């Protein structure tokens, strides 16, 4: 495979022939490799992921911003927290007249989500940081985030929310973000990776991991990411 690749503005000059070993070590170098492959496909399908670095830090992170519509007035038999993706162009074209805004927001609310994927040196796994706010800049509270978690995850969340979603400082930006705690990541990723090796199937760690943890906070990946990983075999 090629030794030099550029993706999202960052370069790799090492042999792209990685495979997770039995100890499932996932260092910064391997993290950036999988992010590069992930972003390459994102650019191909226009999914909005990009790589960012800080001038004060050599480490980088993968990020995406998107908008969701949150139903404010639920209809009979539906949840008040049903969400759907809203393209950025539509979100920025909301009515400017006060009466129109009042009428619109009475039925729906538009929420801006920022998702950041970083590498955890402590746990040696990727970590999903995110924050959410209304278009007027008001941030969502931690309780709002908990309430918006998909139904199939709420049981675990109610048993120990602080083990699932917490709020802490972004390690690179130094700003408050919500984070999905990484303490269980190796527990569910190790069997998946071992099974992939057993059947000799190529997987992108970031793609597999994000497809599992992302839906907890409203982040869903197109199926084409999985197909892209298989095509790279």
Which of the residues are catalytic?
183
Q: How far is 33 from 16, CA to CA, in rounded Å?
A: 7
**CA dist., res. 160 & res. 146, Å (int):** 11
Residue 170 and residue 176 in contact, taking contact as beta carbons nearer than 8 Å: yes
189: Cβ contacts below 8 Å, ≥ 6 apart? 24, 125, 205, 208, 209
CB 214 within 8 A of CB 128: yes
Quote the tokens at residue 132. 């959410």
């Amino acid at each position: 495979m090629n030794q030099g690749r550029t993706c999202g503005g960052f370069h790799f000059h090492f042999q792209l022939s990685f495979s997770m070993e039995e100890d499932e070590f996932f260092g910064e170098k391997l993290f950036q490799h999988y992010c590069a492959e992930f972003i390459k496909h994102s650019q191909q399908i226009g999914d909005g992921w990009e790589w960012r670095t800080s001038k004060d830090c050599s480490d980088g992170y993968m990020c995406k911003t998107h908008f969701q519509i949150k139903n404010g007035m639920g209809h009979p038999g539906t949840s008040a927290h049903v969400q759907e993706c809203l393209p950025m162009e539509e979100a920025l074209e909301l009515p400017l007249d006060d009466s129109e805004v009042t009428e619109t927001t009475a039925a729906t609310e538009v929420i801006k989500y920022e998702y950041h994927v970083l590498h955890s040196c402590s746990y040696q796994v990727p970590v999903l940081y995110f924050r959410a706010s209304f278009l007027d800049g008001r941030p969502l509270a931690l309780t709002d985030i908990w309430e918006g978690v998909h139904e199939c995850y709420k049981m675990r969340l109610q048993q120990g929310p602080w083990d699932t979603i917490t709020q802490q400082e972004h390690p690179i930006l130094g700003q408050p973000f919500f984070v999905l705690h990484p303490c269980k990541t190796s527990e569910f990723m190790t069997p998946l990776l071992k099974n992939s090796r057993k059947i000799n199937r190529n997987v992108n760690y970031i793609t597999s991991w994000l497809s599992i943890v992302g839906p907890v906070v409203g982040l869903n990946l197109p199926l084409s990411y999985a197909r892209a990983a298989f095509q790279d075999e």
